[in-house]
Structure 1
Amino acid sequence: MEQDVSLGLAIFVEHGREREAADFYGSAFGARQFQAHHIDGALAGVEMRLGATVIAVAGANPRREAEPSRGGPFFPKVAGGVSTIIQLTVPDIDGCFAQAIAAGATLRDEVQTDVAGRRVASLFDPFGHIWVLIERDASAGRRAA
Structure 2
Amino acid sequence: MIHMEIPEHHKQAVVPHIMVESAAEAIEFYAEAFGAVELFRLEGDAGRIVHAEVGIHGSTLMLGDVDVPFSTPDRVGTSVALHVYVPDVDGLTTKAVTSGAELLTAPADMPYGARQSMLRDPFGHVWIFLTPIAAA
With the shorter chain as reference, the TM-score category is 0.7 to 0.9
Change in Cα spacing, 1:95 to 1:83, as seen in structure 2 (3 Å) is: same
Residue of structure 1 in register with 2:5 after alignment: none
Unaligned runs of 5+ in 2: 1-10
1:117 is displaced (CA, Å) by 4.4
Residue of structure 2 in register with 1:94 after alignment: 90
2:52 to 46, 50, 69: 46
Q: CA RMSD in A?
A: 2.1
TM-score of the superposition, structure 2-length normalised?
0.80
| 1:10 maps onto 2:22 in alignment | no
Residue of structure 2 in register with 1:68 after alignment: none
Aligned length: 124
Residue of structure 1 in register with 2:4 after alignment: none
More helix by share: 1
From the CA coordinates, give the structure whose radius of gyration is larger: 1
Is the contact made by 2:85 and 2:131 (CA closer than 8 Å) also made in structure 1? yes
Q: Percent identity?
A: 28
Runs of 4+ in 1 over 4 A off after TM superposition: none
In 1: Cα distance, 2:29 partner to 2:37 partner? 11
Please tell me the residue identity of whatever aligns with 2:80. T
Residue of structure 1 in register with 2:66 after alignment: 60
Change in Cα spacing, 1:112 to 1:5, as seen in structure 2 (3 Å) is: closer
Residue of structure 2 in register with 1:133 after alignment: 129
Please tell me the residue identity of whatever aligns with 1:92. D
